[in-house]
Amino acid sequence: MTPLFDKLVALLEAEAARFRVCEHPPEGRSDLVAAIRGTEPGQGAKAMLCKCKDDDRTLVLAVLPGDRKLDFKRVAAAAGVKKATLASPEEAQRETGCVIGAIPPFSFSSNIKLIVDPELVERFDEIAFNAGRLDRSMVLDSVDYVRIAKPLLQSLCV
């Protein structure tokens, strides 16, 4: 297991969350992993680490439905900065401890602001995400996710 995967399981168990773990072949693309785990593409919590152009210290973990596209202007507005862009794969791994595609929709760093598009948790009763590794997913009750992660809910999609 990985430390982040173990940390997620421990957090969800401690919070009495309704979730299950799915083991599957390594996959980072949201459409392909949804088919593997038997969920809808829109249930997938696509977590994208963004950095702010005018403030290098501001990082945002933008989380949106797996079948939607991120609007960087909305990310910037939600974060209160002028311009946001995607962090490089190297920056994302350094800041989250995960490769792109394995970043879960949780922030365990005070440096990373968690912003979630409300459509993700309003469309489905459960969300699905790679849990810190490409070969393990979690399917988590949407209400439990919002209760535990405490994200800022803001529209982020095009």
Instruction: Provide, rounded to the nearest whole percent, the portion of the chain with pLDDT above 70.
Output: 99
Confidence (pTM): 0.94
- The full set of domain ranges for the chain reads 3-153
Give the C-alpha separation, 100 to 89, whole Å: 6
AA identity, residue 60: V
What CATH number should be reported for the domain whose range is 3-153? 3.90.960.10
Q: Evaluate the CA torsion angle 39, 104, 78, 121 in order and state its sign.
A: positive
- At 72 the pLDDT is 97
Going by DSSP bridges, is the β-strand pair 84-86/152-153 parallel, antiparallel, or unpaired?
unpaired
